Amino acid sequence: MTRGQYLGLSQAISIIVPLTIAIRASNNMLMTTIPLLVRYNFHFSNTLVGILSALVSLMTFVSSGLINSRLRACRRRIAFIASSVIYAVVFPLFWLSSPITVWVLSAVAGFALGFLMPNVMTSASLLPDRRTRERLLNIYTLALSISLILGPAIESLILRYYGLRESFIFFTVFPILALAITPFVRFPEENVGGDAVVSTSVVISNPGFIAAVLNIATYNVVFSFLMAFGGIYARNSFGVSYSMVEILFSLFFVTSFLGRLYLSIRPAERLWPYMASAVSMTVIGVLLIVLTNNPLIYAIALLILGIPHGTTYPLSVVSISRAFKLQHRNAANSLFFSFMMLIGIVTPTITGYVADLIGIRNTFIVLIPPVIIALVLLRKYVRSVDIPRE
């Protein structure tokens, strides 16, 4: 790595890492705490819990896929900063939420997040050198994992002394930190000519993009269900406290962190072996939950499931960076994030209803067939990005 590349990487890290931690720690807190709040404080059914989780993803899908992906850099920057303001204002209001206002607050928070996460991802992919760029992308995903360990660990401590509502007040520090950093985020310099514009059809027909979506689908189907109902399952099945629920999530994200740490130290040259291994561990982890009803085994299953969570996302991000030119990556990243949100819409909506019929534990087994189908399709499309061209 040359001195210039090292300086560029260092400058990017100093902005990307704290911003990613601030946004993702607070976002994950919403994903795991809102289901607990509405289930036990507002007495929502599993179906309503699933629909509320889906609403957050739906609004993120709208802002990310339908709006952000079509904006040029200058307007995207304005939307990015404005969304960070909205997010910082809305977040503490969950403390005062009711069974009605929680729907509005969740929708607004989800809409704001649709402008935040894709642009951070794009900013992390702007370095010109491939190896330096992929190293930064892996460090970016590593920062995601760090935030996912810190968030539940901090919330576990908070919930020992305060309730679910009060935890939102404490976590507001993260959206405020994000707001302070967002003006310094770098955006791509787009040409005014046609080369800066890429149609949605071109993006979604790109084999590298399809591979990225299928790869994330092999895990996000399970992850979406786990975030919405994993804590509820632990409380109902094992009688654990809210604080212990967050500790269980921390265990999950520790192995996720280790997976991303490995990829940040040794960036993947070939993608397929890692993708196939991740699916194998996903199936093993789900089967452990289904076939046993023991809190220790559940914790072990979460440790196993954390590994594919740690590897699938960075592999998809690398797949996109290999498949698209720099000026097209915003559209690709926004649409990719939108497909992630689609999974987050469909999965909790369907599985929440199924869980009311057959129980949360039995619903886990329903998740395995779509994961296997996605893996079979992935083998076909990953070839175009499996080995780097440069």
Count of all residues that appear for the chain in the document: 390
Q: Report the distance separating Cα 27 and Cα 20, nearest Å.
A: 10
Q: Report the distance separating Cα 125 and Cα 188, nearest Å.
A: 9
Q: Are 269 and 388 contacting, i.e. CB atoms less than 8 angstroms apart?
A: yes
User: 70 vs 52, 81, 206, 263, 348, CA distance in Å?
Assistant: 27, 17, 18, 31, 28
Write out the H or E segment, with its range, that includes residue 102: helix 101-123
Q: Report the distance separating Cα 95 and Cα 85, nearest Å.
A: 18
Residue 294 sits at φ, ψ, to 5 deg, of -135, 130
Q: Are 311 and 260 contacting, i.e. CB atoms less than 8 angstroms apart?
A: yes
Q: Report the distance separating Cα 100 and Cα 181, nearest Å.
A: 32
The pLDDT value recorded for residue 178 is 95
Torsion angle defined by CA atoms of residues 387, 208, 12 and 16, in that order, rounded to the nearest 10 degrees = -130
Q: What domains are there in the chain, each with its CATH number?
A: 11-185+198-386 (1.20.1250.20)
Using CB atoms within 10 Å of the CB of residue 250, give its burial: 0 to 12 exposed, 13 to 18 middle, 19+ buried. buried
User: Sign of dihedral through CA atoms 83, 88, 90, 94?
Assistant: positive
Q: Report the distance separating Cα 155 and Cα 176, nearest Å.
A: 17
Average pLDDT by stretches of 10, the chain with 390 residues:
64 86 93 94 94 92 85 89 97 96 97 90 74 78 85 92 95 96 81 59 91 92 91 92 91 89 84 93 94 92 93 90 82 83 88 93 93 93 83
What one-letter code names the amino acid at 31? Answer: M
Tokens encoding 119: 């642009």
Q: Report the distance separating Cα 20 and Cα 116, nearest Å.
A: 9
Q: Report the distance separating Cα 361 and Cα 230, nearest Å.
A: 9
